[in-house]
Structure formats: structure tokens, C-alpha cells
Structure 1
């Protein structure tokens, strides 16, 4: 059995996947809003240790069809190492249909088009990417290490290579000062990428609001519940997606939204408007629901 290096994180959709830690921590680990791997120093695990974890699960080889490569951005590994890991997974799990991982744009840009296609052919079918925002000014304020162009270019290359994308935008990330531009430019970058899956989370403060403000490069004024939902309205209004599955149903979200673009766009906007048209009663109801 596998002895994981805690803390261990995975996307909600990987609940039934086998998790293999190819790396520990996050190679960037500077984003102002993120504390997921603050207790870990990044390192790439030795290949023999990764293979030992895979081998330990071989008695259950027919049970697993999906594998998630942890931690924060396993895609940072070299093409050669990732290729060998995928080969080992395919050899061990005969029913394997998908391997996925977290990634940042730099990880993708470090691979050639041919390398990306080869990884996809070997089973790397899905990458989870926290875009956070499409606004360059805000991305600089949170020390994301990426911008609109670097992110959109890298993710379009991944899609062209046959790798599906699940991208995330962080509602409320810039507070009141950035809200409008954050919403509009986030929609613009998502429109350019056209990901298969899109989700939103709400900015949270695991170590307190003051801790986040100290790391934020600028003035930060948090949004209240209704302002967060108003920001979501602007974001969704500006989305022009041809075929994307949308989820805004994480525990951090006040208003649960689910649908497919473009089919359900207006229905989601109607749901948002029903809240914004009666903000006083809606805020009480939403906060009560979130506390359940």
C-alpha cells in the first residue's frame, strides 16, 4: 500500500482515482491566495519510489481506470520521466483509460508539441489548471508568475495536442478594486482557450484575511456575498464558449451553478438575477444554506 506524504490534495472529480505522488509540493508555491503546499518543500520524487508505489497497487490492477498524478504540478517533470511513468502505469493497470495531473502554464511550455502529443497518446488525457484570473494586473498582484498571453498560449497548445483541460477561475480574487476587470478578462481568457471543463471557486482565507492582504501586492477590499455573485454575473455574461461543462458547486461557493455552455448560459444568469433582484433576503438565505 502507499504511504502518502501529507497533505494530499486532489480535484473533486478524481474521488475514485488512484493517486500517485510523482512530486511533493508545488514548484511555484508563491501565489498569494494559496496555502495548499505551504508546509512542503518542493521536490521531484525518485523514479524508483514512484514505481514502487505503482507496484504496490498491482494486486488491484483491474480496479483502477483512472490515475491522478499529485502533488501541485506533476506536469513539471521532464518529458522523459513523465513518459516512463505513463508506460509503467499502462503496464500495471490494463483497464487504465485516463491519467491526469495539476499543471501550470510553465510546465506545458517546457514541452514541445511532439512531446505533448506523445504524453496524450500514452494516456495523459486531462490537466487541471488554476488560471485564477485573466487580468494581468491582478495576476501580478497575487504573484501568479503567469499572464494572459503565457497562459492562453500554453493551454491552447495542450488542447491542440489532444489533452483536455479543466480550468478554474477564483471569484473575488481581486476584491472590489479589481472586480470588473477580473470578471471581464477572465471570461476573455477562457473564451480564447475553450476548455472542456470550467469551474469557479470563491477566494478563501485559510490563515485569515490579514495574512492574505499582506501577500497581496496592492489594496485589497473583500467582496461581500452579493458582490461576489454580481462579479459572477459579469463573468458568465462575457463567456462565449462552444462546448464546455461548467461547475460552481464547491463548498466555497455561495450560489450553486451547474450547466453546459452555451446551452445553459441564460438559465444560470436567470438564477443569478433572482438573487441580485432581492439582495437583502437573498444574502440571508445564501449564508444560511452555506452554513448547512
Structure 2
């Protein structure tokens, strides 16, 4: 069996996947807003330990069709190691249809086009990427370590290699001062990438707003609920997506939105306008439920 190194995180859509930690923590781990792996030192796990855990699950080989590679950016693992791990997974789980992982653009950039194509051919079919924002000024303020250009370039390379993308934008990340440029430039970036899946979460402060404010390089003035929804309106208005599934239904979101682009774009904007035009009667998720 697998003994996980806590804390362990996975995307909601990986609820029924086998989770395999090929790395621990996050290789970057400097983003002002993120506390997910603050209790861990980053390391790549020994290949023999990963193989032993795969072997320990062989009795359930026919039950698993999906495997999620953890921790924070498992795509940072070298091409050679990832390739061997994928081979072992395919040998052990004959019904395997998809392997996925968290990634940051740096991880993708470190691999050649040929290597990305080989990994996709061996079953690495989906990468989850928190791009957070497309605004370079804001990306610097939160110490993301990426730019509009580096993110666009890396993620387009992944898609060209046959790897699908699920990307995330953080609503309210820049507060009042950056709200408009955050929404506009995030939409521009997403439009360039054309991900198969897009989601938004609302910025939260697991260790308190003041801790985030101290790590934020600039003045941070948080948005209230209506301002967050107004920012979402600008973001969605500027999205020009050919075929993307959109979800804004995380526990952090006040207004739940689900749909497919471009088909449901206007319907989602209508819902947003309904809230902005009559906030007193808006059907929003109560504040106390956002942490559930």
C-alpha cells in the first residue's frame, strides 16, 4: 500500500484516480498567495520507492483507469524518470487511460518538443496549471516566477505535443489596484493558450490576509464580493475560446458558474449581470460556506 507524505492535494476531478507521489512539495514554492506546500521541503522521490508503490497496488490493477502524479509540480521530474514511471504504470495497470499531473510552465519549458510528445504517447494526457494571472505586473507582485510570454509559450507547446490543459485563474488576486488589468490580461493569455479546461478560484488567506499582504510586492486592497463578480464579468467578456469547458464552482467562489465556451458565454454573463444589477437579491454562496 501507499503511505502518503502529508499534506496531499489533488484536483477535484482526480477524486477516483490513484494518486502517486513522484515528488514532494513544490519546486518553486515562492508564490505570495500559496501555502499548500509551506510545510514541505521539495524533493524528487527515489525511483525505486515510486516503483515499489506502483507494485504494491498491482492487486488492484484492473480497478484504476486514471493516475494522478503528485505533489505540487510533478512535471518537474526529468524526462527520463517520468518516461520510466509511465512505462511502469502502463505495464502494471492494463486499463489505464490517462495519467495527469500538476505543472508550472518552467517544467514544460525544460523538456523538448520530442520529449513532450513521447510523454503524451505514454499516457501523460493532462496537465493542471495554475497560471493565476496573465498580467506581468501582478505576476511580479506575487513572485510567480513566470510571465505572460513564458506561460503562453510553454502551454502552447504542451498542447501541440498532444497534452490537454486544465488552467486556473485566481479571481481577486491583485485586489482593487490590479483588478481591471488582471481580468483583461488573464483573458488574453487564456485566449492564446486555448485550454481544454478553464477554472477560476477566489483568492483566500489560509494564514490570514496580513500574511499575504506582507508577501505581496505592492499595495493590496481586497475586493468585496460584488467587486469580485464584476472582475469575473470583465474576464469572461474578453474570453474568445473555441472549445473549452469552464468551471467556477470551487468552494471559494461566491457565484457558481458552469458552462462550455463559446456556447454558454452569454448565459454566464447574463447570470453575472443579474447579480450586479440587483445584488440585494442575488443568489450567492454564503461566506461561511466558502471554507467547506
- For residues 180 and 111 of structure 1, the distance between their equivalents in structure 2, rounded to whole angstroms, comes to 34
CA contact (8 A) 2:166 2:198 kept: yes
What's the counterpart of residue 253 of structure 2?
A: 253
What's the counterpart of residue 117 of structure 1?
A: 117
- For residues 197 and 180 of structure 1, the distance between their equivalents in structure 2, rounded to whole angstroms, comes to 23
What's the counterpart of residue 205 of structure 2?
A: 205
* CA-CA distance at 1:286 after TM superposition: 3.9
After TM superposition, which residue ranges in structure 1, 4 or more long, deviate above 6 angstroms? Answer: none
Q: Residues 180-232 of structure 1, C-alpha deviation per residue, up to 9 Å, x if partnerless?
A: 00000000000000000000000000000000000000000000000000000
CA contact (8 A) 2:24 2:45 kept: yes
- For residues 253 and 107 of structure 2, the distance between their equivalents in structure 1, rounded to whole angstroms, comes to 29
- For residues 22 and 286 of structure 1, the distance between their equivalents in structure 2, rounded to whole angstroms, comes to 36
What's the counterpart of residue 287 of structure 1?
A: 286
* CA-CA distance at 1:289 after TM superposition: 8.3
- For residues 211 and 44 of structure 1, the distance between their equivalents in structure 2, rounded to whole angstroms, comes to 29
Distance verdict in 2 for CA 1:289–1:33, change over 3 Å: closer
CA contact (8 A) 1:134 1:188 kept: yes
Q: Residues 247-285 of structure 1, C-alpha deviation per residue, up to 9 Å, x if partnerless?
A: 0000000000000000000000000011000123338x5
- Equivalent residues in 2 for 1:62-73 (5 A)? 62-73=62-73
Gaps (5+ residues) in structure 1?
none
CA contact (8 A) 1:128 1:165 kept: yes
- The yes-or-no answer on 1:136 pairing with 2:136 is yes
The count of residues paired between Structure 1 and Structure 2 equals 291
- For residues 171 and 13 of structure 1, the distance between their equivalents in structure 2, rounded to whole angstroms, comes to 20
Gaps (5+ residues) in structure 2?
none
Q: Secondary structure of 2:282's match?
A: helix
Distance verdict in 2 for CA 1:33–1:169, change over 3 Å: same
- For residues 285 and 84 of structure 2, the distance between their equivalents in structure 1, rounded to whole angstroms, comes to 48
CA contact (8 A) 1:254 1:290 kept: no
* CA-CA distance at 1:106 after TM superposition: 0.4
Distance verdict in 2 for CA 1:113–1:288, change over 3 Å: closer
Cα RMSD (Å):
1.1
- Equivalent residues in 2 for 1:1-292 (5 A)? 1-282=1-282, 285-287=284-286, 290=289
Distance verdict in 2 for CA 1:39–1:219, change over 3 Å: same
- For residues 190 and 154 of structure 1, the distance between their equivalents in structure 2, rounded to whole angstroms, comes to 13
CA contact (8 A) 2:132 2:168 kept: yes
- For residues 263 and 137 of structure 1, the distance between their equivalents in structure 2, rounded to whole angstroms, comes to 32
- For residues 244 and 44 of structure 2, the distance between their equivalents in structure 1, rounded to whole angstroms, comes to 33
- For residues 44 and 221 of structure 1, the distance between their equivalents in structure 2, rounded to whole angstroms, comes to 37
